[in-house]
Structure 1
Amino acid sequence: MAEVYVFGHRNPDTDSICSAIAYSEFKNQTEKENNYLPARLGPVNRETQFVLEYFNVPVPDFIENVYTQVSDIRFDEPVNVDINASMYEAWKEIINKNVRTINIVDEEGKFCGLATLGDVAKIYLQSSSGFSKYEVPVMNLVKTLDGEILVSGKEKIFNGDIIVAAMQIDDIRRRIKKGDLLIVGNRKDVQLMAVKSGIKVLIVTGGHEVDDEVLTAARENDATVVRVPFDTFDAVKLINQSIPVRYIMKTEDVVSFRLDDTIDDVKETMFKYKYRNFPILDNHRKPVGMLARHHILNYSRKKVILVDHNEKSQSAEGIEQADILEIIDHHRIGSPQTEQPIVFINRPVGCTSTIIFDIYGRENIVPSREIAGLMCAAILSDTLMFKSPTCTPEDVKAAKFLADIAGIEIEKFGKAMFEAGTSLEGKSEEEIFFTDFKEFKIGDYEFGVSQVNIFYSSPEYLKNRLIDFMEKMMKEKKYDFLLLMLTDIINEVSEFLFVGNHRELIRMAFGADVKGNSFMLPGVVSRKKQVIPKIISAINSLG
């Protein structure tokens, strides 16, 4: 089941959040092939937080971008081998799982390095003469040689030389030293001499019985005795495979990926490094997959549905790489581009939730109290309790119907919602400005317009600080100008804070002279219907 993210614009307002939740609920009720998840592109404002808490609905998850990431594509399951495991165990994993590269992990499962089929094969072909440079757990010897421990010594790690009893006992006595490992068949005299000489491990080949006298001597001299089914030749050939895999793992120049790495970055890295496989690590550096070149040749992009916006500049970062399935909006049509035909519903109503309510009705679905409450709140917010010029009779009808389902009184609930949302107490200039900010590119002009509703409060003490913040932001982002609407929703008037060098453009758009950095526009409360169209007309009139 594919996941589809449903989200509104950046700096989300109440309609953006509530519409995403309501439409996700609708899609999950009517379609079962996908899992529709409401999401948000920024923090929820106080008004929206009030609404969600009032109806006991959780805040949607935040997503930073919709780039195709490693987590979005199919990759191989990792084959992880403990750092102290033997080459033999590593070899079995490689063969049984039909892979060429394995991850080496510590006791907590965290990534330590890589080993390949070729690395393990080299050890198999090496002579056992250099065995003493390795520290080999005795249990690795037992497992590799399919052995049975007859006597267990105190020492659990072996790091001595290997002696093969393929000569006369006197020759063996001269070669052997304390701490060595002896491989021998059913030669009691050699076995007894060896354990009394202080060897650490005695490997008895051929599955032969070991005399009690030898076993007793082994206990007295703290030697480990292991009986194996292989003959001496095969035991010697196999014993190198007991060496811990950590001695051959690659730890330098290892390139790994994370689940949140973008496919573009992955392609660039793979082009630079010609490795066959790349481990994928989680946030705790535990391997969760193995990535190869063929995995990035054909993959599915993130699937998304846009609500309450349709312009790239207002949407998620990486939206051009996403698979847009639908757009539900009530704003001007910007520049959405899709590879395939999609459902695109754009209607001149005051709120996206009004459109979604109509979609519910067309399918004869009655929303739950919670969803009805969210959609009603969104309509009241976007239409300023029906005072905005964008409000239509359809918005009013929808809000009243939804209020009945939600069990709320519109006037009482709306007042409480706006009081919660318009308080500026404790907010920074950045938080205030980005409460509801949208940027636009019209012709050669790039500008942004923020709107903050004022309800029984005055931001006089903040104006100079807000203007300073806007000046700084304009220079950093290279906007032509910025506007901040301080909208008094009771008296239906907006004061505009302005920064930029295009005062004549503003005068043409609104017939207002900018004195200092502000001007008043009585009766203007809607950015969408009363502000943006006039700015666009002024820009177009300049040719």
Structure 2
Amino acid sequence: MGDVYIFGHKNPDTDSICSAIAYSDFKNLTEKGHNYIPARLGAVSRETQYVLDYFGVTVPRLIENVYTQVSDIQFDEPVNVNKDASIFQAREMMIKHNAGTINIVDDDGKFLGLATLGDISKTYLESSLDFSQYKVPVKNIAETLKGEVLVLKEEVFSGNIFVADMQIDDIQSRIKECDILIAGNRKDVQLMAVKGGIKILVVTGSHEVTDDVLRAAKANGVTVIKAPCDTFDAMKLINQSIPVQYSMKTQDLVTFSLEDTINDVKETMQKYAYRSFPVLDGRKRPVGMLARHHIKDYPRKNVILVDHNEKSQSAEGIEQANILEIIDHHRLGGLETEQPIVFTNRPVGCTATIILRCYEEKNLVPSKEIAGLMCAAILSDTLIFKSPTCTDEDVRAAKKLAGIAGIEIEKFGRAMFEAGTSLEGKTEEEIFFTDFKEFKVGDFKFGVSQVNTFSNASEPLKNRLIQFMEKLRADREYDFLLLMLTDIINESSECLFEGNHDELIKKAFGVDFAGYSFLLPGVVSRKKQVIPRIISAINSLS
């Protein structure tokens, strides 16, 4: 079952958030082939948060883009080995999993480095020349020998290995402190060794170790291990007890995160000849191995768009996503799809009005919570039916949904707007991007923001907003920016303007203004009363 993300436009308003949630609910009720997930492309406004809190609904997941990421594709399971594990254990893991490379991790599972079979073989060969250069956990020695620890005095050993294959006098002259002595069923050698300064006695052939040898070992701080193998095999096996961290590479490693995009992965892979690359999660733990064949043919993210159909208003990477449906009530904005899709675009005041019709066509009744969200979306977009975008269909839908949700339209709508329109404590950026949309018409790139208010903004605040807009226009290379401060009660909008196209704006709205602001009585809808006039004025230039 694949995931399908449903989301509205950037800088989401209440309709974008609530319609994404509602349509996800509808799709999950009616279709079982996918898992439909509501999402958002930006912060939730105070108004929307009030609605979500009122009906006890969780804020949708924030997604920054819809590029295909490493987390969206299939890759190989990793073979992770603790840094203290023996090279014997590491080699066995590689054989078991047919892995050419293993990840070395710390006790918390975090990535430290990589090791190949060649790296492990090199360590084994080097250890036969000088075993004393390594610090080896005693448990590694016992596990590698498949032996039994009869006496344990130290956890870690460092020293050389000697085999008791000579006369006892020769052995005594050669052993030193910190050495391992491998002995068979020779009690005299065993007693001499534990009293002579060795640190570990390995008794091979599963021979019994007498009590007096064990007592002497305890008294002299000597670890005793009884192993089933013969002396020759014990020598080879102990060399394989070295921790695998001595074999790992830590320099010039390339790893990927689950959030990396496939485009970035492809570009990086072209620079390196490695066969596979570790994939790390957010805690730097290896969760997979990524090879070139994994990114040849990969699935794109499946998405459904609500409340918008323009690329500039959608998620980053939308051109690489698989758009399944679009549910909208705005003008057509030029998004392209590779295959025919379900595109529902109706001239109503709110996307939620369209979604209610979807429920009705399936003879379904939304839950109280979903109905409440959809009603709030309609009241928000239509300014409680005062906006010229409001249709009879919106009014019918809102009244039906209010009945299901158990709310009074006027009372709830006013509380919702009061919660969302207060500008107190907000930065200029927060105010401007409360509900901002970017448009590209002909050679013009412009943006229009709308903020609903119950009271007039102060002059100092408007001056700060203009300064913010001036910098934003320069940074993002807009031709002009417009901020609508919409008075819901008096049904008018004061517009703050920043740009070099005063004459175009004057022509669009039939106003004659000096400075940065002008009043539009009776104008409360950006979609129906502002954008069409601007587009008409731009088109008239050509």
Common topology (TM > 0.5) = yes
Matched residue, 2:16: 16
- Matched residues, percent identical? 73
CA distance in 2, matches of 1:389, 1:189: 105
> What SS does structure 1 have at the residue aligned with 2:399?
helix
C-alpha distance in 2 between matches for 1:372 and 1:192:
85
Aligned residue in 2 for 1:123: 123
Q: Which amino acid aligns with 1:119?
A: D
Cα distance in 2 for residues equivalent to 1:337 and 1:205:
75
- Deviations along 1:271-299, one digit per CA (max 9) or x if unpaired, are 11222222222222222222222222222
Aligned with 1:129: secondary structure? Answer: coil
1:479 — aligned with what?
A: 478
Question: What residue is the counterpart of 2:522 in the other structure?
Answer: 523
Residue 395 of structure 1 aligns with which residue? 394
Aligned residues: 542
Code of the residue aligned with 1:56 in structure 2: it is G
Aligned pairs for 1:108-507 (under 5 A) are 108-126=108-126, 128-152=128-152, 154-507=153-506
Distance in 2 (CA, whole Å) between partners of 1:49 and 1:223 is: 68
**Partner-residue secondary structure (3-state), 1:272:** coil
Contact 2:82 2:106 in 1 (8 A): yes
Q: CA deviation at 1:214?
A: 3.1
CA contact (8 A) 2:255 2:279 kept: yes
Q: Gapped runs of 5+ residues in structure 2?
A: none
> For 1:213 and 1:396, how far apart are their aligned partners in 2?
97
8 Å CA contact 2:123, 2:246 repeated in 1: no
d(CA) in 2 for partners of 1:454, 1:156: 71
Partners of 1:457 and 1:520 in 2: CA distance: 12
Which whole-Å CA distance do the structure 2 matches of 1:146 and 1:97 have between them? 22
- Partners of 2:277 and 2:59 in 1: CA distance: 36
**Counterpart-to-counterpart distance in 1, 2:385 and 2:150:** 89
Moved more, 357-366 or 65-74: 65-74
> Is the contact between residue 3 and residue 37 of structure 2 (CA under 8 Å) also seen in structure 1?
yes
Which structure 1 residue ranges, 5 or more long, are not aligned? none
Q: Distance in 2 between matches of 1:155 and 1:491?
A: 84
The equivalent residue for 1:82 is 82
| Equivalent position of 2:63 in the other structure | 63
Between the aligned partners of 2:410 and 2:141, the Cα distance in structure 1 is: 80
CA deviation after TM superposition for structure 1 residue 459, in Å: 4.2
Q: Which SS does the other structure have where 2:289 is aligned?
A: strand
| C-alpha distance in structure 1 between counterparts of 2:47 and 2:384, whole Å | 14
- Cα deviation, residue 127, structure 1: 5.4
What CA distance in whole angstroms lies between the structure 2 residues aligned with 1:88 and 1:208? 24
Letter in 2 for 1:90: A
Equivalent position SS for 1:260? coil
Instruction: Give the Å deviation of 1:457.
Output: 4.3
Relative to 1, partners in 2 of residues 1:135 and 1:521: Cα closer, same or farther, differing over 3 Å? same
Aligned CA distance change for structure 1 residues 167 and 264 (closer, same or farther; 3 Å): same
SS in 1 for 2:481: strand
Give, in whole Å, the separation in 2 of the partners of 1:379 and 1:211.
88
Rounded to whole Å, the distance in 2 between the matches of 1:352 and 1:532 is: 18
**1:72 counterpart residue number:** 72
The offset of 1:39, in angstroms, is 1.1
Q: Report SS of the residue matched to 1:419.
A: helix
> What is residue 510 of structure 1 aligned with on the other side?
509
Residue range with higher mean Cα deviation, 283-292 or 84-93: 283-292
Q: Measure, in 2, the Cα distance between the counterparts of 1:351 and 1:179.
A: 80
Question: 2 CA distance for matches of 1:404 and 1:459?
Answer: 39
AA at the equivalent of 2:219: E
- Cα distance, 1:420 vs. partner? 1.7
Matched letter for residue 37 of structure 2: L
Cα gap change, 1:415/1:219 in structure 2, threshold over 3 Å: closer, same or farther? closer
Asked if the contact 2:77–2:289 (Cα under 8 Å) also holds between the matched residues in 1, the reply is yes
RMSD: 1.6
Q: Which amino acid aligns with 2:404?
A: I
CA contact (8 A) 1:306 1:328 kept: yes
1:210 and 1:485 mapped to 2: Cα distance?
91
- Give distance in 2, aligned partners of 1:91 and 1:126: 16
- Name the SS of the counterpart of 2:449 in structure 1: strand
Three-state SS of the structure 2 residue aligned to 1:242 is coil
The code of the aligned residue for 1:147 comes to G
Q: TM-score, normalised by structure 2?
A: 0.97
